[in-house]
């Protein structure tokens, strides 16, 4: 490759292999996202196998998500400086190494260490994937490509619990990690063969001091959120770290404004299209995790379905997304992102409204229809939203904005998990007149009440996203 070429559009070999490059990038992204949620349903099995209490097993998931959020922005910045493709390649190797080690873990400590390594690699790939796709595809095809990769991310998030339930039902829990290895090696081969050398780099420095301030804020905040689910949010042990995390955020913002080469260029947020797109992405992924966390309880515990049956039912979401997301992406250039984004948000909001009225004996075909509609709404929202965000970004900020997009998604996931469980158990406690922190056997109606309250809150958040998105596209 010639370094004096300004764009991948001018490289015939890159354009010839652009969809092979896409496959390499998107499938590894799917694996990294999948590993954030596939472990959830296997936690009881892992806890029993490693002889650890259930409350400690939660950290197997928490550490992975916290680590990704901590490193995303750093690697987005480094990707802009040294090259996004280079960082992506290194990330695939690191992720595969952590995945291999996770399957052999024989204690909570070794499994958590392996998950941190996984998360380090995942953050490298997640922070650079959208920037790579944006640079390689022309504006005419970019919507379709970003639509595909947006659906891949959602597929990984939503498919995780379903696929995890099926794997744990038939195989040892270690296979939820080891099944990634052959596919990861194939994707690694495709990346080596088809990914070009970077041509887009910036002359800048990495603000490591700013990164450590940012990391402290992330770790304190999400560590407190996960601990709060376990012991409650009314103690100083939780409230003090939460307050400190807020102080670190304020300090980080003031510190970054004084830097010539900050970790995050706050000028990015002057672009209202980017800012509103990130806010909407955060809300939608939070609402998705309300749905993803509560539905396994509803199907398995309340209705009595097996994990594998629940997994197959929930597969309606990713199946619809696989079909609808690329179609939505290809329509962006013809119909405009605004109409599609609004339609997607409207469908998700409507489904959240209908979920408020679910009962134990709700017709299963009707329920599967709701799951499928949720997948359709996400496909129609995420493809155009990703295209709007990335197409509005300056080329020199693609890595950082791609990482912020991934950060909004992952923070939404964590907040969704925390809020969903906190609201659920708070509502159940209010109804029962006593403190409840788990599902009460034989009290299905108590769970249904808590689930209804939780989806009411989710509906309010989705209505907020719908309103601010309306304002964004009306102004445009």
Q: Give the pLDDT confidence score for residue 10 in this predicted structure.
A: 67
1 assigned to some structural domain: no
Q: pTM of the predicted model, to two decimals?
A: 0.77
Once rounded to an integer, what is the mean pLDDT over residues 8-23? 78
133 in the same domain as 40: yes
Same domain flag for 187 and 218: no
Q: Are residues 94 and 134 in the same domain?
A: yes
Asked if residue 383 is part of any domain, the answer here is yes
Average pLDDT, the chain: 83
363 and 244 share a domain? Answer: no
Is 4's pLDDT higher than 60?
no
Closest among 303, 380, 305 to 347, alpha carbons compared: 380
Judge residue 408's burial from the number of C-beta atoms within 10 Å of its C-beta, 0-12 exposed, 13-18 middle, 19 or more buried: buried
Q: Are residues 89 and 115 in the same domain?
A: yes
Give the pLDDT band (50/70/90) at residue 476. Answer: low
* Domain shared by 333 and 461, yes or no: yes
Domain end among 247, 262, 277? 262
Task: Please compute the mean of the pLDDT values over residues 95-106 and round it to a whole number.
Answer: 91
Q: Residue 6 pLDDT > 70, yes or no?
A: no
In a domain, 461, yes or no: yes
Whose CA is closest to 63, among 111, 102, 116? Answer: 116
Q: What is the number of domains present in the chain?
A: 2
User: Do 200 and 221 lie in a common domain?
Assistant: no
Give dist(CA 379, CA 320) in Å, integer.
Answer: 8
Last residue of a domain, one of 219, 247, 262: 262
Give yes or no for residue 339 having a pLDDT over 90.
no
Residue 9: pLDDT above 70?
no
Tokens 């480094």, residue? 78
Residues 6+ apart with CB under 8 A from 73: 127, 211, 214, 263, 264, 400, 403, 404, 407
- Residues 158 and 128 placed together within one structural domain of the fold: yes
- Band of pLDDT at residue 87, cut at 50, 70 and 90: very high
Whether 235 is covered by a domain: the verdict is yes
Residues 153 and 246 in one domain: no
Query: Does the residue 336 lie in any domain?
Result: yes
Looking at the domain assignment, is residue 3 inside a domain? no
Least confident of 24-28, 328-332, 376-380: 328-332
Q: With a cut of 50, say whether residue 1 has pLDDT above it.
A: no
Residue 228 pLDDT exceeds 70: yes
129 and 234 housed in the same domain: no
The CA distance from 386 to 168, in Å, is 33
**pLDDT of the residue at 366:** 95
pLDDT of 305 above 80:
yes
Rounded Cα distance, 308 and 465, in Å: 33
Residues 141 and 244 occupy one common structural domain: no
Q: Are 227 and 127 within one domain?
A: no
Considering only 113-127, 249-263, 398-412, 422-436, which range has the smallest mean pLDDT?
A: 398-412
The answer on pLDDT for 253 being more than 70 is yes
What CATH number is attached to the domain comprising 132? 1.20.1250.20
**Banded model confidence at residue 437, pLDDT cuts 50, 70, 90:** low
* Own/partner long-range contacts of 305-311 (Cβ < 8 Å, ≥24 apart): 306/169, 307/41, 307/165, 307/166, 307/168, 307/169, 308/165, 308/166, 308/169, 308/170, 310/162, 310/165, 311/41, 311/161, 311/162, 311/163, 311/164, 311/165, 311/166
User: Of 234, 262, 290, at which residue does a domain stop?
Assistant: 262
- CA 67 → CA 64, 73, 117, 218, 465, distances in Å? 5, 11, 9, 9, 27
Please say if the pLDDT value at position 400 is more than 90.
no
Domain contains 200: yes
Mean pLDDT of 205-209: 85
Structural domain contains residue 2: no
Q: Which residue range is the domain that position 214 belongs to?
A: 207-262
128 falls in which pLDDT band (50, 70, 90)? confident
pLDDT at 247: 95
User: What is the residue whose two structure tokens read 């797109």?
Assistant: 277
Task: Please check the confidence at residue 82 and state whether its pLDDT lies above 50.
Answer: yes
């Amino acid at each position: 490759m010639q370094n004096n070429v300004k764009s991948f559009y001018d490289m015939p070999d890159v354009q010839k292999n652009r969809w092979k490059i896409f496959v390499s990038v998107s499938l590894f992204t799917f694996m990294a996202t999948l590993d954030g949620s596939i472990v959830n349903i296997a936690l009881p099995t892992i806890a029993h196998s490693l002889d650890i209490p259930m409350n400690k097993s939660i950290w197997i998931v928490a550490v992975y998500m916290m680590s990704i959020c901590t490193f995303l922005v750093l690697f987005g910045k480094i990707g802009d400086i040294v090259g996004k493709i280079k960082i992506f390649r290194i990330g695939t190797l690191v992720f595969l190494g952590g995945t291999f080690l996770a399957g052999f873990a024989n204690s909570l400590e070794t499994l958590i260490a392996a998950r941190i390594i996984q998360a380090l690699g995942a953050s490298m790939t997640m922070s650079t994937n959208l920037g790579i796709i944006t640079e390689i595809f022309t504006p005419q095809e970019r919507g379709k490509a970003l639509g595909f990769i947006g659906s891949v991310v959602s597929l990984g998030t939503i498919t995780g619990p379903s696929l995890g339930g099926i794997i744990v039902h038939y195989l040892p829990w270690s296979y939820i990690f080891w099944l990634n290895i052959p596919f990861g090696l194939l994707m690694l081969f495709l990346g080596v063969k088809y990914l070009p050398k970077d041509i887009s780099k910036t002359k800048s420095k990495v603000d490591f001091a700013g990164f450590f301030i940012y990391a402290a804020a992330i770790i304190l905040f999400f560590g407190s959120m996960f601990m709060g689910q376990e012991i409650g949010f009314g103690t100083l042990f939780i409230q003090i770290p939460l307050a400190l995390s807020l102080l670190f955020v304020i300090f980080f913002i003031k510190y970054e404004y004084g830097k010539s080469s900050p970790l995050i260029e706050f000028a990015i947020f002057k672009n209202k299209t980017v800012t509103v797109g990130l806010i909407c992405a955060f809300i939608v992924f939070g609402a998705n995790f309300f749905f993803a966390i509560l539905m396994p309880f509803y199907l398995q515990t309340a209705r009595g379905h097996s994990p594998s049956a629940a997994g197959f039912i929930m597969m309606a979401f990713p199946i619809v997304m696989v079909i609808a997301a690329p179609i939505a992406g290809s329509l962006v250039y013809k119909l405009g992102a605004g109409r599609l984004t609004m339609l997607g948000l409207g469908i998700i909001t409507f489904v959240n409204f209908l979920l408020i009225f679910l009962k134990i004996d709700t017709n299963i075909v009707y329920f599967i229809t709701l799951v499928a509609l949720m997948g359709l709404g996400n496909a129609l929202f995420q493809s155009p939203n990703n295209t709007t965000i990335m197409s509005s970004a300056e080329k020199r900020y693609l890595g950082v904005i791609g990482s912020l997009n991934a950060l909004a998604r992952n923070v939404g996931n964590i907040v969704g998990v925390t809020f969903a469980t906190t609201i659920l158990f708070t509502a159940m406690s209010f109804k029962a007149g006593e403190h409840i922190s788990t599902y009460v056997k034989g009290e299905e109606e108590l769970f249904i009440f808590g689930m209804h309250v939780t989806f009411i809150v989710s509906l309010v958040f989705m209505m907020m996203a719908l309103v601010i998105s309306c304002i964004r596209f009306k102004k445009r």
